[in-house]
């Protein structure tokens, strides 16, 4: 709920809006397994599947009293759905004494659909609105990662890693809308996923009373959200 009058007068009620998010939510399913070949003690293989589904259903109505009033005409509304299906596999390999590597790959299939934004036209008491319907979007990405570590000394480990990550836009970022005195709507149905390459070099030393770590970290990000 949003009130339009300034405080402290707004604490007694007055014109405002009522927000209804019924139907908004998500569900997630994740499965993971680990395989340790009996004849290859130097390998540990992890695999997994994941599915995320999201639903956005957001409606804002004008009201004569933001505390006790009922929902009036539509101010704005937005809706949309998304689905992310991903699979990953990685192999942890002790390929030599004091040496260990991790090689992995993640595949992601993402889609966003049924996107819609409704913006009320005219005054705050308008009963008409303009609807914007957005096309279905689908994206597919592969994200590799690699890491290697060396037990340099009994109390010191050296590590190096490189990996790619992709962050899909949320439904609110794609279809979310708002109206105020300065803007009609704010959303970007064509927002690109954020893609990052991350590099890390580190040294860890066991001091006997704690763990001392020195890290060099670098990241290159495109289409930052």
Predicted pLDDT of residue 4? 62
**pLDDT number for residue 186:** 65
- Give the model's pLDDT for residue 208: 87
| pLDDT of amino acid 177 | 63
Is the full-model pTM beyond 0.85? no
User: What does the pLDDT read at residue 126?
Assistant: 53
What pLDDT, on the 0 to 100 scale, is given for residue 181?
46
Low-confidence ranges of the chain (pLDDT < 70): 1-6, 9, 121-128, 177-186
At 2 the pLDDT is 62
Question: For position 159, what pLDDT does the model report?
Answer: 97
Instruction: Dump the DSSP string for the chain.
Output: -EE-SPTTGGGG--SEEEEE-TT-EEEEEEEEEEE--TT-TTEEEEEEEEEEEEEEEEEEEEES-TTTPPP-SEEEEEEEEEEEEEEEEEEEEEEETTEEEEEEEEEEEEEEEEEEEEEE-SSTT---EEEEEE--EEEEEEEEEEEEEEEEETTEEEEEEEEEEEEPPPHHHHH-----SS-S----TTPPPEEEEEEEEEEEEE-SSSEEEEEEEEEEEES--
């Amino acid at each position: 709920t949003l009130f339009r009058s300034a405080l402290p007068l707004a604490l007694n009620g007055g014109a405002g809006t009522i927000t209804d998010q019924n139907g908004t939510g998500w569900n997630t399913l994740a499965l993971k397994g680990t395989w340790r070949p009996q004849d290859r003690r130097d390998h540990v293989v992890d695999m997994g599947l994941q599915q995320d589904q999201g639903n956005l259903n957001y409606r804002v109505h004008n009201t004569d009293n933001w505390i006790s009033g009922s929902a009036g005409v539509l101010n704005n509304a937005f809706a949309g759905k998304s689905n992310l299906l991903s699979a990953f596999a990685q192999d942890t390999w002790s390929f030599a004494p004091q040496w260990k590597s991790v090689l992995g790959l993640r595949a992601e299939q993402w889609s966003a659909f049924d996107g819609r934004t409704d913006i009320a036209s005219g005054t705050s008491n308008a009963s008409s609105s303009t609807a914007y319907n957005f096309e279905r979007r689908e994206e597919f990405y592969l994200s590799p990662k690699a890491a290697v570590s060396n037990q340099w000394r009994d109390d010191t480990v050296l590590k190096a890693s490189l990996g790619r990550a992709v962050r899909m836009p949320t439904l609110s970022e794609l279809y979310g809308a708002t109206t105020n005195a300065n803007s009609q709507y704010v959303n970007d149905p064509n927002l690109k996923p954020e893609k990052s390459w991350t590099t890390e070099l580190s040294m860890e030393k066991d001091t006997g009373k704690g763990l001392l770590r020195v890290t060099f970290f670098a990241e290159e990000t495109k289409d930052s959200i």
